[in-house]
Structure 1
Amino acid sequence: MSTYSRRPFRQSGARRPLIHGGAARRFLRGMTACGILFAFALLLASQCAPRFAAWFASGESGVVWSVQLVQAVQAATLPAPAAGGQAPNSVVVIPVSGAIGPASADFIVRSLQRAADSHAQLAVLQLDTPGGLDTSMRQIIKAILASPVPVATFIAPSGARAASAGTYIVYASHIAAMAPGTNLGAATPIQMGIGGAEPPGGTPGLPGTGPGNRAPQAPAPDSASAAAGAASSAATGASANPATSAPAALPLDTQSTELRKQVHDAAAYIRGLAQMRGRNADWAERAVREAVSLTAADALAQHVVDLNARDVPDLLRQLDGRTVATSAGNVRLATAHAPVVTLEADWRSRFLAVITDPNVALMLLMLGMYGLFFEFANPGFVLPGVVGAISLLMGLFAMQMLPVNYVGLGLIFLGIAFLIGEAFLPTFGSLGFGGIVAFVIGALMLIDTDVPGYGIPLPMIAAVVVFSVLFVLGVSRLALRARRRPVVTGSEGLIGSVGVVLDNGLVAAAAGPATRGPAGWAQINGERWQVSSGVPVAAGEPVRVIARQGLTLTVEPVAAAGARQQQPSLGGKSS
């Protein structure tokens, strides 16, 4: 028998699970993570479902789908033609419908580049828009002005419009055309306050719009055209005509001065485009100052557009034989029998259109923040952290492409931080209430424009606030419940553990100078520990750990511990 002193060593036995808390807690974590992933997938699917439904409804075979997938990967950076190849001297049709934003600007710029690379003789921008963002509009106009391929902006089909930002694009194009039943105009920039209310004093920047200050120029559009143009927040605005301005129409406060500067800048911009293309500059300035609109026939009569056409083939027949001046020189068009290639938005444009929706961008920010919060509150779960990081980066990427008010964005993050702090600090609801108020105000201020389709509706804000409160309360409840559970690791985790005495038991003969009372060995939690006790204990008897000193545990018999717990109650009865 060895005379060397023994030390505790780990023996085979039941190991502690990596994730504590039982199956119910693991199931709850998994359901929460799956809920975050499902919400993210549902968000993207709701935007892309119509496209996928149209694709599957076409009835193409699996081989054709495989070929198209390979072609899409090879041409991932350029829009794909809808049908056929693209031959030299062809006509490229670029359909654009909806508000002008980062996605549509990227699609138009890349389509014009594709037309130039394929040596197309004409690019037709088929336009139907209520307006859009100023930065996106100017990006499109720069691409048109620098294009070596003539660009014909065609407001079509019948019933379409080119309001606000669309009017600037029409004026910048080499050729402007309209289909019957369309309209353009209403190009005044509008700066809206929180909640969409106009500043006091009516529409700023329109000093000459009173009844007595109207210039007797083009006839006013019909009510439907005016209403359609006024609904769009044009990305860009225009300036005012000093000859028809009323200097006292607006107060000289900071807000009015800023709006007046925007109007003057926009008016000079559209007048310069009109002079470059030889079109009616006076009406262009009125479209900015007075938000007037024109029908197709009136626009042709006042030399705002170059021609009217029923459709794209009719437009090409009328343009045949014309000479157009571009940045690369004069180009003579031969479009009567030219092949027509229609481009469609590719996956990149669709992806940008989805994430640059302000509602989607806000939800991505929320998913990102709460995914990271859940990961930090439950380290090692990984999935919420991965989803949260990706969502947060995508949301920030979308925000930098939108006209974001950074004060509103800061209030949103501050509100989220307050809601998270409420879960861990005893503030009795102060931080939580402040977080809700900061988040709501920040969401209302977030998008600094009144362009249709770029606002965040109040029901969306209310839904996100309710979800945030419920999420924070749920996670904080799990955290508090975890804190109340007994410690199961480290030195504290051994206290209260039950083991079995080994060898010859705890006898006085085994006591050493470092121990008090009988000492020996016991198996506790699958490990062999040196133990000491105040009373002798036979081998095989259960003992409970009551203290620890270094590598020696102090134990007592389980029977003695139970008797000590029952003694106060017995004493109470005897009295």
Structure 2
Amino acid sequence: MLKRTSPLIPFLFLALVLLLSPACASAEDKVLVLELDDAITPVSDDIVVDALLIAQQEEYEALVITLNTPGGGVDETLRIIEAIDQSEVPVIGYVYPGGTKAWSAGTLILLGTDVAAMAPFTVIGSAQPVTVSTGGVEPVEDDKIVNALVALAKEKANQHGRNETAAEKFITENLNLNAEEALEAGVIEYVATDVEDLLEQVDGQTIKDRELSTSGATIDTYAPNLRLSFMDIISDPIISSLLIMLGIYGIVIGISNPGAGAEIFGVVSISLGLVGMGFDVNIAAIFLILLGVVLFVLELQAPGVGIFGIAGFVCLIVGSIFLVPMDFPRWYTPADVQQTMIIAIVTPTIVMGLLFVFVFYKVLEVRHRKPVIGEEPTGDLAEAIDKIDAGSEGFVRYRGEYWKARSEDDLEEGDSVLITDKKGPLLFVKKEEE
């Protein structure tokens, strides 16, 4: 006889399934975090595009881009903003961690994200375009350039419902805002202490026709592939500039000492530096550096004067300054950042140059020192280390070396002798006159 099943059991089972299903779903939710630290370089846009592609293919809820940057290349910044617009993946811009900043190009990227957030004690702004020249810091006065940046900033602010006036003042008045001020001004939507806090706050928001399910989501950190990692290293303006300068020194050393392989190192180093810069190199810098190389070569051909070497060294230093991609619009950073980067590049260049000049002249000094072997020592003094009878042969010490010698006079050990002739390895000597 079958027992009748209680009608409550199916309902209890169904309720249990409904209660557990959200937990199961949330366990599958995941968010990808991309860290943009330091400068925006020629490889930064490739990294952002790659992260967006991974986020879309692996069905991440969103891509969080943490920003800690003084700015960088304008072209790369525009491509990053364009990639964010074209992607179906919601992108959350987050100035993080505390105490950091997203200036200039970093501010534009934050304005271009779907959701903008900042950690406490962070700053955005300082987006006025400037150039650093021999006359000091100069703001860019070209209305065409300034108006284009203002239009872009206001368009991105309007697109995401943010304060257009503040977006304009970032560029025209070098406005800076901390997290609380930016939230109050309507430039950002959230202030969050960390990524987990941010994901809790944005949970349930509808972005790009997608309702975010980020509360308790798994956080994965984006790691670029080997190619992008290598490019990220050499695209740093300091690294790429120093690679080019090292390459120049390598070529000069290779010319002065052929066959040592220094010239091969120089060519490879210069090639990597150019690749890191995206081949966007100041022509004046290349001219000065090449002129410096020519002057060093001339110094090799006419050593001892020093004028060519000093002039070449000066050309290399000035060329390294021009080599730094600091001029707008190639580089979009505040003035103090540009000055710091110039110092960071020029200082090791000067140190390496001085070291190179020191070694260079020491080599020349040795090269032009009167050699012992192969040169006529006639007229020089030596010291008898044996007792030598007149017409006999013995040994003398000449410039720290033992030489076989034939004497015209009777010599005692320790006598000073004058070299009168040399035939092969045999010296002809006589006693030095008192």
Q: TM over 0.5: same fold?
A: yes
The amino acid of 1:171's aligned partner reads L
Shift in alpha-carbon separation, 1:179–1:380, aligned structure 2, 3 A: closer
Q: SS where residue 192 of structure 1 aligns?
A: strand
Distance 2:88 2:265 in 1: 44
Q: Within 5 A, what are the aligned runs for 1:217-236?
A: none
Q: 1:393 and 2:271 equivalent?
A: yes
Once the two structures are superposed, the pairs formed by residues 29-428 of structure 1 within 5 Å of their partners are 89-194=29-134, 197-199=136-138, 204-205=139-140, 256=141, 258=142, 260-325=143-208, 330-344=209-223, 347-381=226-260, 383-400=261-278, 404-425=281-302, 428=305
5+ long unaligned stretches in structure 2: 1-26, 328-332, 376-421
Residues 386 and 448 of structure 1: is their aligned pair in 2 closer, same or farther, counting only changes over 3 Å?
A: closer
Secondary structure at the residue paired with 1:166? helix
* CA distance in structure 2 between the partners assigned to 1:566 and 1:441 by the alignment: 54
Query: What's the CA shift string for 1:391-418, capped at 9, x where partnerless?
Result: 23212222336x6422123212211221
TM-score, normalised relative to structure 2 = 0.70
User: Match for 2:342 among 449, 455, 458?
Assistant: 455
Contact 2:256/2:300 (<8 A) preserved: no
SS of equivalent residue, structure 1 residue 101: coil
The alpha carbon displacement at 1:313 in A equals: 2.0
Query: Does structure 1 retain, via aligned residues, the 8 Å contact 2:252–2:293?
Result: no
Deviation at 1:99, TM superposition (A): 2.6
Assess, with a 3 A threshold, how the Cα gap between structure 1 residues 357 and 473 changes in structure 2: closer, same or farther.
farther
- Find the counterpart in structure 2 of residue 467 from structure 1: 355
Change (3 A) 1:468 1:413: farther
- The 3 A distance-change label for structure 1 pair 177 and 378 is closer
Change (3 A) 1:127 1:374: closer
2-structure distance, mates of 1:378, 1:277: 62
CA distance in 1, matches of 2:65, 2:370: 61
Deviation track 1:33-76 (CA, whole Å, cap 9, x = no partner) reads: xxxxxxxxxxxxxxxxxxxxxxxxxxxxxxxxxxxxxxxxxxxx
Shift of 1:481: 7.0
Equivalent pair of 1:377/1:479 in contact (CA under 8 Å): no
Contact 1:358 1:455 in 2 (8 A): no
Tell me the TM-score normalized by structure 1.
Answer: 0.54
Match of 2:132, SS?
Answer: coil
Please list the CA deviations of residues 96-151 of structure 1 after superposition, one character each: whole Å capped at 9, or x if unmatched. Answer: 22232235444333222221221212111122223223233223222212222110
- Measure, in 1, the Cα distance between the counterparts of 2:371 and 2:271: 32
Aligned AA (2:342) = G
Between the aligned partners of 2:256 and 2:370, the Cα distance in structure 1 is 11
- CA gap of 1:473–1:400, structure 2 versus 1, over 3 A, is farther
**Higher normalized strand content (fraction of residues):** 2
Structure 1 residue 286 displacement after superposition: 0.9
Residues 104 and 125 of structure 2 are in contact (CA less than 8 Å); yes or no, is this contact kept in structure 1?
Answer: yes
Is the alpha carbon distance of 1:448 and 1:392 closer, same or farther for their aligned partners in structure 2, counting shifts above 3 Å? closer
Give the direction of change, closer, same or farther, for the CA distance of 1:454–1:345 in structure 2 (3 Å limit).
Answer: farther
SS in 2 for 1:299: helix
3-state SS in 1 of match to 2:130: coil
The 8 Å contact of residues 90 and 341 in structure 1, kept in 2 or not, is answered as: yes
| AA at the equivalent of 2:116 | A
Q: Could you tell me how far 1:480 is from its partner in structure 2?
A: 5.4
After superposition, give the CA deviation of every residue in 1:450-482 in whole Å (9 maximum; x if it has no partner).
743642444323213213323443454566579
Separation in 2, partners of 1:480, 1:357 = 42
Alpha-carbon offset, residue 435 of structure 1: 1.3
Question: 149-158 or 370-379, which moves further after superposition?
Answer: 370-379
Alignment partners' CA distance in 1, 2:286 and 2:151: 32
Residue 198 of structure 1: SS of its match in structure 2?
strand
For residues 203 and 194 of structure 2, the distance between their equivalents in structure 1, rounded to whole angstroms, comes to 15
Secondary structure of 2:316 counterpart: helix
Deviations 1:519-559 (A, max 9, x none): xxxxxxxxxxxxxxxxxxxxxxxxxxxxxxxxxxxxxxxxx
Residues 360/131 of structure 1: CA separation in 2 closer, same or farther (3 Å cut): closer
8 A Cα contact 1:184 1:294, kept in partner? yes
Provide, for residues 3-46 of structure 1, a one-character-per-residue CA deviation record: whole Å limited to 9, x for no partner: xxxxxxxxxxxxxxxxxxxxxxxxxxxxxxxxxxxxxxxxxxxx
Measure, in 2, the Cα distance between the counterparts of 1:324 and 1:477.
Answer: 72
**Cα offset for 1:172?**
0.4
- Partners of 2:88 and 2:369 lie apart in 1 by 68
**Aligned partners of 1:321, 1:393: CA distance in 2, in Å?**
49
Deviation at 1:159, TM superposition (A): 2.4
| Cα distance between partner residues in 2 of 1:158 and 1:409 | 40
Q: How does 1:448-527 map to 2 (within 5 A)?
A: 448-449=325-326, 451=333, 452=337, 454-457=341-344, 458-476=346-364
Aligned partner of 2:309 in structure 1 is 432
CA distance in structure 2 between the aligned counterparts of 1:385 and 1:448, rounded to whole angstroms: 25
What code does the residue aligned with 1:323 have? T
Tell me if the contact between 2:112 and 2:156 (Cα under 8 Å) persists in the aligned partners: yes
Q: Within 1, Cα distance between the matches of 2:373 and 2:80?
A: 61
Q: Does 1:442 align with 2:319?
A: yes
Give the drift of 1:153: 0.5
Q: How much has 1:267 moved relative to structure 2?
A: 0.9
2:252–2:296 contact (8 Å) kept in structure 1: no
Q: Which amino acid aligns with 2:273?
A: G
In structure 2, relative to structure 1, the CA distance for the partners of 1:466 and 1:98 (3 Å cut) is: same
SS at match of 1:428: coil
Find the counterpart in structure 2 of residue 523 from structure 1.
none
Asked if the contact 1:88/1:120 (under 8 Å) is kept, the reply is no
The 5 Å alignment of 1:560-575 reads none
- Checking the alignment, whether the CA contact within 8 Å between 1:140 and 1:169 is kept in structure 2 is yes
Rounded Cα–Cα distance in structure 2 between residues aligned with 1:361 and 1:485: 46
Structure 1: how far apart are the matches of 2:372 and 2:155?
72
Q: Aligned residue pairs: how many? A: 346
- Which AA in structure 2 matches 1:155? V
Change (3 A) 1:158 1:409: same
Query: Residue 210 of structure 2 aligns to a residue in which SS?
Result: strand
Secondary structure of 1:102's match?
A: coil
Counterpart contact for 1:179–1:296, Cα < 8 Å: yes
Change (3 A) 1:373 1:437: closer
